[in-house]
């Protein structure tokens, strides 16, 4: 592990949304480490139903900036990660996931049979929740990326302000209604760490046992 790597608590406390970047590229081995950490993020049933499209080309980042109503982060940051939620991945061939989990001793026969039946996904489909499920999984991976980036000495910016059709066009999936954009995360180096905008006191948003009545 890199000697300068920040601990998880330190990364959580120092991560800031960074909107301006130096043009310096992210070294390929550091980007690879970041992406390895990203795909360690958990997903429901270990379905891994989210992908990350890594956009580094100037033209691709310009398209993403245009899709994001001209926001500067994709133009300035050398790397933009687009988190794609795969709403129907659960219905595809997924035996490799089960085989690996069994080989690793992580799943028993009972769990493997439940995975194969995919009852929860059928239920999600009936309740219209497939997109929400896949987006949740993608967002957790994006959170891992932001914290890992801080830990590795990189700055980042989550972005939800964009036109989904234009983002899909920019990464070549405009003909895929089964795919949804969850979030974009710009990653790079910055000269400045923005100030912490602050948070409300914990008591304002953490409650014991039940949500307070209004
Ligand atoms: C899901 C999500 C989407 C966001 N989208 C944008 C965005 O499109 N543009 C932007 O400038 N900031 C965006 N932000 C950054 C927030 O404004 C920022 O996280 C917030 O002000 C708290 O600051 P901090 O991240 O430095 O703690 C987004 C943050 C999140 C979590």
What pTM was estimated for this model as a whole? 0.97
Within a domain: 32: yes
Residue 95 domain-assigned (yes or no): no
Indicate the number of domains in the chain: 1
Is residue 182, in this structure, part of any structural domain at all?
Answer: yes
Return the best residue to mutate from 11, 12, 17 for the ligand 1 pocket (most ligand atoms within 8 A of CB): 17
95 pocket-lining for ligand 1 (C-beta < 6 Å): no
Q: Is residue 163 part of a domain?
A: yes
Domain encompassing residue 79: 8-87+128-204
Identify the pLDDT of residue 2: 52
Q: Is 17 in the pocket of ligand 1 (CB under 6 A)?
A: yes
Residue 3: the pLDDT is 53
Q: What is the pLDDT of residue 1?
A: 47
Whether residue 156 has its Cβ less than 6 Å from ligand 1: no
Specify the pairing of strand 155-159 against strand 79-86: unpaired
Per-residue pLDDT of the chain (214 residues; tens, 9 = 90+): 455 899 999 999 999 999 999 999 999 999 999 999 999 999 999 999 999 999 999 999 999 999 999 999 999 999 999 999 999 999 999 999 999 999 999 999 999 999 999 999 999 999 999 999 999 999 999 999 999 999 999 999 999 999 999 999 999 999 999 999 999 999 999 999 999 999 999 999 999 999 999 8
Q: Is 20 in the pocket of ligand 1 (CB under 6 A)?
A: no
Residue 82 falls within a domain, yes or no? yes
Residue 141 domain-assigned? yes
Per-residue confidence (pLDDT) for residue 29, from 0 to 100 = 98
CA 206 to chain centre: 24
- CATH number (domain holding residue 167): 3.40.109.10
Residue 91, number of CB atoms within 10 A of its CB: 13
Q: What CA–CA distance (Å, rounded) separates 2 from 20?
A: 25
The 3-class SS string of the chain reads: CCCCCCCHHHHHHHCCECCCCCCCCCCHHHHHHHHHHHCCCCCHHHCCCEEEEEECCHHHHHHHHHHCCCCCHHHHCCEEEEEEEECCHHHCCCHHHHHHHHHCCCCCHHHHHHHHHCHHHHHHHHCCCHHHHHHHHHHHHHHHHHHHHHHCCCEEEEECCCCHHHHHHHCCCCCCCCEEEEEEEEEECCCCCCCCCCCCCHHHCCCCCCCCCC
- 104-126 CB burial, b ≥16 within 10 A, e <16: eeebeeeebeebeebebbeebbe
Length of the chain measured in residues? 214
Q: Can you read off the two tokens belonging to residue 153?
A: 């000495």
Bridge partner residues of 187 (DSSP) = 79, 156
Q: What is the pLDDT of residues 47-104, one digit of tens each?
A: 999 999 999 999 999 999 999 999 999 999 999 999 999 999 999 999 999 999 999 9
183 occurs within a structural domain: yes
Q: Is 67 in the pocket of ligand 1 (CB under 6 A)?
A: no
Flag whether 97 is in a domain.
no
Contact criterion met (CB below 8 Å) for 17 and 194:
yes
210, burial (CB in 10 Å: exposed 0-12, middle 13-18, buried 19+): exposed
């Amino acid at each position: 592990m890199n000697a300068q790597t920040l601990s998880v608590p330190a990364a959580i406390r120092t991560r800031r949304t960074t909107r301006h970047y130096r043009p310096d590229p992210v070294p390929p081995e550091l980007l690879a480490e970041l992406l390895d950490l990203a795909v360690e993020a958990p997903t429901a049933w270990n379905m891994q139903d989210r992908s990350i499209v890594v956009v580094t080309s100037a033209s691709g980042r310009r398209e993403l900036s245009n899709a994001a109503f001209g926001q500067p982060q994709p133009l300035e940051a050398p790397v933009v990660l687009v988190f794609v939620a795969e709403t129907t991945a659960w219905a595809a061939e997924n035996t490799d996931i089960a085989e690996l989990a069994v080989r690793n001793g992580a799943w028993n026969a009972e769990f493997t049979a439940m995975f194969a039946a995919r009852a929860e996904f059928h239920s999600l489909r009936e309740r219209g929740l497939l997109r929400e499920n896949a987006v949740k999984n993608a967002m957790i991976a994006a959170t891992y990326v932001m914290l890992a980036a801080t830990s590795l000495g990189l700055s980042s910016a989550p972005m939800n302000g964009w036109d989904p059709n234009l983002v899909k066009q920019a990464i070549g999936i405009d003909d895929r209604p089964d795919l949804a954009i969850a979030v974009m995360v710009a990653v790079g180096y910055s000269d400045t760490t923005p100030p912490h905008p602050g948070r409300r006191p914990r008591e304002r948003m953490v409650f014991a046992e039940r949500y307070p009545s209004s």
